[in-house]
Protein backbone atom coordinates (compact mmCIF):
# COMPACT_ATOMS: atom_id res chain seq x y z
CA UNK A 1 0.00 0.00 0.00
CA UNK A 2 2.80 2.42 0.82
CA UNK A 3 4.27 1.93 -2.68
CA UNK A 4 0.90 2.86 -4.20
CA UNK A 5 0.68 6.05 -2.13
CA UNK A 6 4.30 6.99 -2.91
CA UNK A 7 4.02 6.22 -6.61
CA UNK A 8 0.71 8.04 -7.07
CA UNK A 9 2.00 11.05 -5.13
CA UNK A 10 5.12 11.25 -7.31
CA UNK A 11 3.07 11.11 -10.52
CA UNK A 12 0.50 13.65 -9.32
CA UNK A 13 3.01 16.10 -7.88
CA UNK A 14 5.16 16.04 -11.02
CA UNK A 15 2.10 16.63 -13.21
CA UNK A 16 0.93 19.51 -11.01
CA UNK A 17 4.38 21.08 -10.71
CA UNK A 18 5.37 20.79 -14.37
CA UNK A 19 2.09 20.69 -16.28
CA UNK A 20 3.24 17.82 -18.51
CA UNK A 21 5.66 14.93 -18.54
CA UNK A 22 4.82 13.52 -15.13
CA UNK A 23 2.72 10.69 -16.51
CA UNK A 24 5.79 9.23 -18.18
CA UNK A 25 6.82 7.91 -14.75
CA UNK A 26 3.65 5.81 -14.42
CA UNK A 27 4.80 2.70 -16.29
CA UNK A 28 8.20 2.45 -14.52
CA UNK A 29 6.51 2.94 -11.14
CA UNK A 30 3.92 0.24 -11.85
CA UNK A 31 6.56 -2.11 -13.23
CA UNK A 32 9.40 -1.68 -10.75
CA UNK A 33 7.69 -0.53 -7.54
CA UNK A 34 4.52 -2.63 -7.77
CA UNK A 35 5.95 -5.51 -9.82
CA UNK A 36 3.28 -5.45 -12.53
CA UNK A 37 3.92 -7.35 -15.76
CA UNK A 38 4.86 -4.98 -18.57
CA UNK A 39 1.63 -5.15 -20.61
CA UNK A 40 -0.51 -4.87 -17.47
CA UNK A 41 1.50 -1.80 -16.43
CA UNK A 42 1.00 -0.13 -19.82
CA UNK A 43 -2.76 -0.79 -19.83
CA UNK A 44 -3.09 0.35 -16.20
CA UNK A 45 -1.03 3.45 -16.99
CA UNK A 46 -3.53 4.48 -19.67
CA UNK A 47 -6.40 4.32 -17.15
CA UNK A 48 -4.41 6.18 -14.48
CA UNK A 49 -3.09 8.89 -16.81
CA UNK A 50 -6.55 9.39 -18.31
CA UNK A 51 -8.19 9.64 -14.88
CA UNK A 52 -5.69 12.13 -13.46
CA UNK A 53 -5.81 14.21 -16.65
CA UNK A 54 -9.62 14.32 -16.45
CA UNK A 55 -9.39 15.72 -12.92
CA UNK A 56 -7.06 18.43 -14.22
CA UNK A 57 -9.07 19.10 -17.39
CA UNK A 58 -12.53 19.67 -15.86
CA UNK A 59 -11.77 23.04 -14.18
CA UNK A 60 -10.07 24.28 -17.37
CA UNK A 61 -13.02 23.09 -19.45
CA UNK A 62 -15.41 25.04 -17.23
CA UNK A 63 -13.23 28.13 -17.68
CA UNK A 64 -13.53 27.81 -21.47
CA UNK A 65 -9.82 27.22 -22.08
CA UNK A 66 -10.26 24.03 -24.13
CA UNK A 67 -10.14 24.80 -27.86
CA UNK A 68 -12.91 22.91 -29.66
CA UNK A 69 -11.48 23.33 -33.17
CA UNK A 70 -8.07 22.06 -32.10
CA UNK A 71 -9.75 19.14 -30.35
CA UNK A 72 -11.57 18.20 -33.55
CA UNK A 73 -8.46 18.61 -35.71
CA UNK A 74 -6.02 16.74 -33.47
CA UNK A 75 -8.33 14.37 -31.60
CA UNK A 76 -9.52 11.87 -34.26
CA UNK A 77 -6.07 11.18 -35.79
CA UNK A 78 -4.46 10.88 -32.35
CA UNK A 79 -7.18 8.46 -31.18
CA UNK A 80 -6.70 6.44 -34.38
CA UNK A 81 -2.97 6.35 -33.68
CA UNK A 82 -3.63 5.23 -30.10
CA UNK A 83 -5.75 2.31 -31.28
CA UNK A 84 -3.02 1.34 -33.75
CA UNK A 85 -0.36 1.60 -31.04
CA UNK A 86 -2.36 -0.56 -28.63
CA UNK A 87 -2.97 -3.11 -31.40
CA UNK A 88 0.75 -3.23 -32.16
CA UNK A 89 1.67 -3.47 -28.46
CA UNK A 90 -0.43 -6.59 -28.03
CA UNK A 91 1.65 -8.29 -30.70
CA UNK A 92 5.05 -7.37 -29.30
CA UNK A 93 6.97 -9.85 -27.15
CA UNK A 94 7.11 -9.27 -23.38
CA UNK A 95 9.92 -6.88 -22.51
CA UNK A 96 10.02 -5.00 -25.81
CA UNK A 97 7.70 -2.17 -24.75
CA UNK A 98 10.09 -0.98 -22.05
CA UNK A 99 12.91 -1.00 -24.60
CA UNK A 100 10.81 1.43 -26.67
CA UNK A 101 9.80 3.33 -23.55
CA UNK A 102 13.35 4.14 -22.40
CA UNK A 103 14.28 6.24 -25.49
CA UNK A 104 10.93 8.06 -25.19
CA UNK A 105 11.92 8.99 -21.62
CA UNK A 106 15.24 10.34 -22.89
CA UNK A 107 13.41 12.51 -25.45
CA UNK A 108 11.12 13.78 -22.68
CA UNK A 109 14.17 14.52 -20.51
CA UNK A 110 15.74 16.51 -23.35
CA UNK A 111 12.54 18.53 -23.81
CA UNK A 112 12.34 19.20 -20.09
CA UNK A 113 15.98 20.27 -19.83
CA UNK A 114 15.67 22.53 -22.87
CA UNK A 115 12.68 24.38 -21.47
CA UNK A 116 9.68 22.15 -22.14
CA UNK A 117 7.04 22.98 -24.72
CA UNK A 118 7.52 25.60 -27.38
CA UNK A 119 5.97 28.89 -26.30
CA UNK A 120 6.01 30.76 -29.62
CA UNK A 121 2.79 30.42 -31.56
CA UNK A 122 3.15 29.42 -35.16
CA UNK A 123 0.76 29.89 -38.06
CA UNK A 124 -1.76 27.07 -38.42
CA UNK A 125 -0.29 24.27 -40.54
CA UNK A 126 -2.02 22.03 -43.07
CA UNK A 127 -4.55 19.41 -42.01
CA UNK A 128 -2.11 16.70 -43.14
CA UNK A 129 0.65 17.95 -40.87
CA UNK A 130 -1.76 18.10 -37.93
CA UNK A 131 -3.10 14.61 -38.67
CA UNK A 132 0.39 13.10 -38.94
CA UNK A 133 1.43 14.69 -35.65
CA UNK A 134 -1.73 13.37 -34.01
CA UNK A 135 -1.18 9.85 -35.30
CA UNK A 136 2.44 9.90 -34.11
CA UNK A 137 1.52 10.99 -30.59
CA UNK A 138 -1.30 8.46 -30.49
CA UNK A 139 0.98 5.62 -31.53
CA UNK A 140 3.25 6.33 -28.57
CA UNK A 141 0.28 6.58 -26.23
CA UNK A 142 -1.09 3.18 -27.23
CA UNK A 143 2.30 1.54 -27.51
CA UNK A 144 3.91 2.52 -24.20
CA UNK A 145 1.07 3.97 -22.11
CA UNK A 146 2.14 7.62 -21.83
CA UNK A 147 -0.13 10.64 -21.96
CA UNK A 148 2.17 12.42 -24.39
CA UNK A 149 1.57 15.92 -23.05
CA UNK A 150 5.22 16.84 -23.61
CA UNK A 151 4.57 16.25 -27.34
CA UNK A 152 0.93 17.35 -27.62
CA UNK A 153 1.44 20.83 -26.12
CA UNK A 154 4.18 21.93 -28.55
CA UNK A 155 2.22 20.39 -31.44
CA UNK A 156 -0.84 22.46 -30.56
CA UNK A 157 1.26 25.62 -30.23
CA UNK A 158 3.33 25.18 -33.37
CA UNK A 159 0.85 23.43 -35.69
CA UNK A 160 -2.46 24.97 -34.66
CA UNK A 161 -1.24 28.33 -33.33
CA UNK A 162 -2.77 28.00 -29.87
CA UNK A 163 -1.54 30.18 -27.00
CA UNK A 164 0.08 28.18 -24.19
CA UNK A 165 -2.83 28.24 -21.67
CA UNK A 166 -5.27 26.92 -24.29
CA UNK A 167 -2.74 24.38 -25.55
CA UNK A 168 -2.19 22.97 -22.05
CA UNK A 169 -5.95 22.78 -21.35
CA UNK A 170 -6.70 21.18 -24.71
CA UNK A 171 -3.84 18.69 -24.33
CA UNK A 172 -5.31 17.42 -21.05
CA UNK A 173 -8.62 16.61 -22.71
CA UNK A 174 -6.81 14.99 -25.65
CA UNK A 175 -4.89 12.82 -23.17
CA UNK A 176 -8.21 11.78 -21.60
CA UNK A 177 -9.64 10.79 -24.99
CA UNK A 178 -6.50 8.96 -26.14
CA UNK A 179 -6.11 7.14 -22.84
CA UNK A 180 -9.75 6.03 -22.86
CA UNK A 181 -9.50 4.71 -26.42
CA UNK A 182 -6.20 2.94 -25.73
CA UNK A 183 -7.42 1.40 -22.49
CA UNK A 184 -10.58 0.23 -24.24
CA UNK A 185 -8.49 -1.43 -26.94
CA UNK A 186 -6.46 -3.30 -24.31
CA UNK A 187 -9.68 -4.43 -22.60
CA UNK A 188 -11.16 -5.68 -25.87
CA UNK A 189 -8.09 -7.77 -26.57
CA UNK A 190 -7.71 -9.01 -22.98
CA UNK A 191 -7.91 -12.80 -22.69
CA UNK A 192 -7.44 -12.80 -18.92
CA UNK A 193 -3.69 -12.20 -19.08
CA UNK A 194 -3.61 -8.52 -18.08
CA UNK A 195 -4.71 -9.08 -14.47
CA UNK A 196 -5.87 -5.48 -14.08
CA UNK A 197 -6.41 -4.34 -10.49
CA UNK A 198 -9.26 -1.83 -10.32
CA UNK A 199 -8.43 -0.94 -6.70
CA UNK A 200 -4.83 -0.03 -7.55
CA UNK A 201 -5.93 1.99 -10.59
CA UNK A 202 -8.59 3.82 -8.54
CA UNK A 203 -6.16 4.64 -5.73
CA UNK A 204 -3.59 5.96 -8.19
CA UNK A 205 -6.20 8.21 -9.81
CA UNK A 206 -7.54 9.51 -6.48
CA UNK A 207 -4.17 10.09 -4.81
CA UNK A 208 -2.51 11.28 -8.02
CA UNK A 209 -5.35 13.71 -8.73
CA UNK A 210 -5.13 15.20 -5.24
CA UNK A 211 -1.33 15.43 -5.47
CA UNK A 212 -1.64 17.08 -8.87
CA UNK A 213 -3.80 19.87 -7.44
CA UNK A 214 -1.32 20.31 -4.59
CA UNK A 215 1.55 20.40 -7.08
CA UNK A 216 -0.27 23.05 -9.10
CA UNK A 217 -0.32 25.32 -6.05
CA UNK A 218 3.29 24.62 -5.12
CA UNK A 219 4.46 25.12 -8.69
CA UNK A 220 3.89 28.87 -8.50
CA UNK A 221 6.41 29.11 -5.65
CA UNK A 222 9.24 27.05 -7.15
CA UNK A 223 11.35 28.09 -10.20
CA UNK A 224 10.07 26.08 -13.17
CA UNK A 225 13.51 25.93 -14.81
CA UNK A 226 14.97 24.23 -11.74
CA UNK A 227 12.06 21.77 -11.51
CA UNK A 228 12.41 20.82 -15.17
CA UNK A 229 16.14 20.19 -14.86
CA UNK A 230 15.64 18.01 -11.78
CA UNK A 231 12.87 16.09 -13.50
CA UNK A 232 15.02 15.66 -16.61
CA UNK A 233 17.79 14.10 -14.49
CA UNK A 234 15.26 11.72 -12.90
CA UNK A 235 13.98 10.66 -16.33
CA UNK A 236 17.51 10.01 -17.58
CA UNK A 237 18.36 7.92 -14.52
CA UNK A 238 15.16 5.85 -14.87
CA UNK A 239 15.68 5.38 -18.62
CA UNK A 240 19.29 4.27 -18.14
CA UNK A 241 18.21 1.89 -15.36
CA UNK A 242 15.61 0.32 -17.67
CA UNK A 243 18.15 -0.12 -20.47
CA UNK A 244 20.74 -1.59 -18.09
CA UNK A 245 18.22 -4.03 -16.60
CA UNK A 246 17.22 -5.18 -20.09
CA UNK A 247 20.87 -5.51 -21.11
CA UNK A 248 21.61 -7.64 -18.04
CA UNK A 249 18.56 -9.85 -18.70
CA UNK A 250 19.65 -10.41 -22.29
CA UNK A 251 23.28 -11.08 -21.36
Helix (H) or strand (E) holding 84: helix 68-89
The pLDDT score that the predictor gives to residue 77 is 94
Q: Are 81 and 141 in contact (CB under 8 A)?
A: yes
Q: How far, in Å, CA of 247 to CA of 251, rounded?
A: 6
- Provide the pLDDT confidence category of residue 78 given band limits of 50, 70 and 90: very high
pTM (predicted TM-score) = 0.82
Q: How far, in Å, CA of 7 to CA of 230, rounded?
A: 17
Average pLDDT over residues 124-134: 81
Does position 250 have pLDDT exceeding 60, yes or no?
A: no
Q: Is 125 left (phi over 0), alpha (psi -120 to 50) or beta?
A: beta
Q: How far, in Å, CA of 246 to CA of 22, rounded?
A: 23
Which tens digit of pLDDT belongs to each residue from 138-176?
A: 988 888 877 777 778 888 888 888 887 788 888 889 989
Which tens digit of pLDDT belongs to each residue from 102-117?
A: 888 888 778 777 765 5
- For 169, other C-beta atoms within 10 Å of its C-beta total 24
Which tens digit of pLDDT belongs to each residue from 43-68?
A: 899 999 889 888 888 888 888 888 99
Does position 211 have pLDDT exceeding 60, yes or no?
A: yes
Q: Are 99 and 246 in contact (CB under 8 A)?
A: yes
Amino acid sequence: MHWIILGAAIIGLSLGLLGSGGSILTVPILTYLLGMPEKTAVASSLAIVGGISLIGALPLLRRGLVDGRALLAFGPPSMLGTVAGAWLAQRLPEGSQLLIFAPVMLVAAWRMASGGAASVQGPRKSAWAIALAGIGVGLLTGLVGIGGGFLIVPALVLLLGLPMPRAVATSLLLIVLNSAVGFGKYLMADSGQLQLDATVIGLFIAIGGAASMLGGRLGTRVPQALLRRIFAVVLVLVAVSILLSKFVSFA
